[in-house]
Amino acid sequence: MRVFPLRLKEEELVRWGQRIGREVTCPVFLGLEGPLGAGKSVLARAIAAGAGVEGPIPSPTFNLVFRYPARDGIEVVHMDLFRLQDPSELRDLGWDELLEGPELVLVEWPERAGSLLPPDRWEIGLRREEDDPLLREVRQRRVGNPPPLPPPPQASAADRGRS
Amino acid sequence: MKPTLVLGIETSCDETSAGLVEAPGRLLGHTIHSQDVHALYGGVVPELAARAHLSRLEAVVEETFRQAGRRPEEVDGVAVTAGPGLIGALLVGVCWAKALAFALRKPLVAVHHMEAHLFSPSLEDSGAVPPFVALLVSGGHTLLLYAPRWGEYTLLGQTRDDAAGEAFDKVARLLGLPYPGGPAIQTLAQEGDPARHPLPRPMLRSNQTPDDPDYYDFSFSGLKTAVVTLTESLERQGRLEEEKRHLAASFQAAVVEVLVEKTLRAVEQTGCRRVLLGGGVSANRLLRARMARRLGPGGKLFFSTPRLAVDNGAMVARAGLFRLEAGEVASWSLSADANLPFPNLRPRQGTRVP
């Protein structure tokens, strides 16, 4: 069992995201947590691209939700809940119907959904390292019984140096 | 009979607005109700937005007719923003417009919000017509396109992550400034040194060629992260307060340089020295000044006064007039589409339409 948090370079984070997109079984819900600039969108874009989404994957901050067709009839749902004031507003976004089909659901600021988060999910926490802005601290938490995720790539040299 | 009088309704985000336009493009009445409640929350709140639109739309439309001295029965069509935008907010406008058009027995016209922005400057300057290179920059969009004529567009560039206005909002939040971030950063930047903090100019490299897929594209997420890093480091040194104005100036300079240089690339490649700025960020004074200077005396720059640069019903009415003249009438089953595709927007070689 890997000890968390991991320390990954951005390209390692991207490689892991692409692999998640290629391999994970759907439906699956991934909450991406972390402060502004931590890499939530970087990871979300990598996962979507890995799942076969073509073209740009713009930030959903303004529109709250974007949907993309992807591999094997999967739909990637990219949401940003930052602007939500109350979980009840999720109704407007089709939250109740999420995960009914083969969806790969990527939610930034999932904590805004409060008790409406699905019982089976992954929570991935991201932080930038204070002493090395190129490194991301990654925490992965399994809640309930979501489909497995591929393991993150080998930790970066900086991480190995510490362990 | 040729349509002459069109009502436009706009509720895609936080402005509840209506406009009345008479052919060929005369603005007769125009009302905007901005939802100040969002400033409290540092952004648009979707549920509040929809409810507020519903409670204000009737008064906004009535006021617009009152200004114009016209009656609803006189219109030749009702135009409404069908997308893109917040779905709940859009639905209010679409349902309202549909009901009004149905009751009046007049055609309903669906308008694309970003195409409508292209029509805004023409309401104040009859020369602001294609051909032009257009830079549409707002909280949700960053689009660079070429319009040889109305209704025909080539997509040149777009953002790959954050929109330009979104970057302003997020950096404003980092610096503890109010929403919307654009005006707040612009004001603070006036007292700052734009060269004090060298920030990246994402996707802007001198060795790019038009064959590169990112030649015209934008990316503001990395710039935002650079500001986050810098802010944290200054805070640890206890210098954030004194450096805020320089950070604002440096950030604004970086965004503006990327927007201007990418637009100038489009000008060089299309040979069209007419540039139109649209969307909320087009109100940025540095952007307007730099763009005008780089275009030089042989160029022409079009933009709207602030009341028509933000989201408004007047541009929707003008875009609706164009669509109605082309015989495009929406069916009664029209619905809002949060991701409505831009009409007749063709990708340039090697790019994709959003």
Question: For residues B57 and B55, what is the distance between their CA atoms, to the nearest angstrom?
Answer: 6
The pairing of strands A135-143 and A6-9 is antiparallel
Confidence check: pLDDT of A16 > 90: yes
The predicted pLDDT at position A160 comes to 47
Same domain, B154 and B230: yes
User: pLDDT grade, residue A85 (50/70/90)?
Assistant: confident
Does B263 map to a domain?
Answer: yes
The predicted pLDDT at position B48 comes to 63
Instruction: Transcribe B8-49 into DSSP letters.
Output: EEE-SSSEEEEEEEETTTEEEEEEEEE-THHHHHTS--HHHH
Does B354 map to a domain?
Answer: no
Whether the CB-CB separation of B309 and B283 falls below 8 Å is answered with yes
Q: How many CA atoms lie within 13 A of B271 on its CB side?
A: 0
Same domain, B294 and B146: yes
**Percent of residues in chain A assigned helix, strand, coil, to nearest 5:** 30, 25, 40
- Environment class of residue B214 by beta-carbon count within 10 Å: exposed (0-12), middle (13-18) or buried (19+)? middle
CB contact under 8 A, A83 and B41: yes
The beta-carbon neighbor of A62 closest among B88, B163, B227 is B163
Chain A residues in contact with B161 by the CB 8 A cut-off are 41, 45, 56-59
Please name the fold of domain A8-145. Rossmann fold (3.40.50)
Domain, as residue range, for B269: 127-303
Same domain, B160 and B273: yes
How many domains in chain B? 2
Does B353 map to a domain?
Answer: no
Distances (CA, A) of A121 to A17, A126, B248: 16, 16, 39
Whether the CB-CB separation of A127 and A136 falls below 8 Å is answered with yes
The predicted pLDDT at position B36 comes to 54
Confidence check: pLDDT of A157 > 60: no
The predicted pLDDT at position B305 comes to 93
Question: For residues B40 and B59, what is the distance between their CA atoms, to the nearest angstrom?
Answer: 24
Same domain, B48 and B159: no
CB contact under 8 A, B173 and A58: no
Question: For residues A125 and A139, what is the distance between their CA atoms, to the nearest angstrom?
Answer: 5
Q: What is the tens place of the pLDDT at every residue in A88-121?
A: 778 777 788 899 999 999 999 999 998 999 999 9
- Which token pair is A24? 């994970």
The predicted pLDDT at position A4 comes to 62
- Which one of B12, B13, B86, B169 would you mutate to disrupt binding with A, by most A Cβ within 10 Å of its Cβ? B86
Instruction: Transcribe A53-76 into DSSP letters.
Output: --S-----TTTSEEEEE-GGG-EE
Same domain, B99 and B162: no
Residue B44 sits in a domain whose CATH number is: 3.30.420.40
Give pLDDT tens digits along chain B (354 positions).
687 999 999 999 888 999 999 999 999 999 998 765 444 444 555 566 778 888 899 999 999 999 999 999 999 999 999 999 888 899 999 999 999 999 999 999 999 999 999 999 999 999 999 999 999 999 889 999 999 999 999 999 999 999 999 999 999 999 999 888 999 999 999 999 999 999 999 999 989 999 998 999 999 999 999 999 999 999 999 999 999 999 999 999 999 999 999 999 999 999 999 999 999 999 999 999 999 999 999 999 999 998 899 899 999 999 999 999 999 999 999 999 988 999 999 988 655 455
Q: Which of A12-26, A79-93, A136-150 has the lowest mean pLDDT?
A: A79-93
What amino acid is encoded at A8 in this protein?
L
Question: For residues A101 and A73, what is the distance between their CA atoms, to the nearest angstrom?
Answer: 10
Question: For residues B286 and B283, what is the distance between their CA atoms, to the nearest angstrom?
Answer: 9
Does B352 map to a domain?
Answer: no
Q: Cα distance from B52 to chain A (closest Cα, Å)?
A: 14
Same domain, B291 and B144: yes
- Other beta carbons less than 10 A from residue B135's beta carbon: 28
Same domain, B134 and B239: yes
Question: Would you tell me the crossing angle of helices B46-68 and B87-104 to the nearest 10 degrees?
Answer: 30
Sequence-ordered list of residues with C-beta below 8 angstroms from that of B290, at least 6 positions apart, any chain: B256, B257, B260
Q: What is the tens place of the pLDDT at every residue in A67-81?
A: 899 999 999 999 999
User: pLDDT grade, residue A122 (50/70/90)?
Assistant: very high
Does B313 map to a domain?
Answer: yes
A131 touches chain B (CB under 8 A): no
Instruction: Transcribe B305-341 into DSSP letters.
Output: -HHHHSS-HHHHHHHHHHHHHTT--B-TT----TTPP
Confidence check: pLDDT of A18 > 60: yes
Buried b (16+ CB within 10 A) or exposed e, A2-21: eeebbbbbbebbbbbbbbbb
Chain A residues in contact with B86 by the CB 8 A cut-off are 63-64
- Which token pair is B154? 């080539």
Does B326 map to a domain?
Answer: yes
Average pLDDT over residues A125-132: 85
Residue A23 φ then ψ, to 5°: -110, -25
Q: What residue ranges do the domains of chain A occupy?
A: 8-145
Average pLDDT over residues A36-55: 94
Same domain, B147 and B231: yes
A94: three-class secondary structure by DSSP:
coil
- Which one of B38, B158, B161 would you mutate to disrupt binding with A, by most A Cβ within 10 Å of its Cβ? B161
The predicted pLDDT at position A163 comes to 39
* Sign of the C-alpha dihedral computed for residues B352, A77, B45 and B332 taken in this order: positive
Same domain, B315 and B292: no
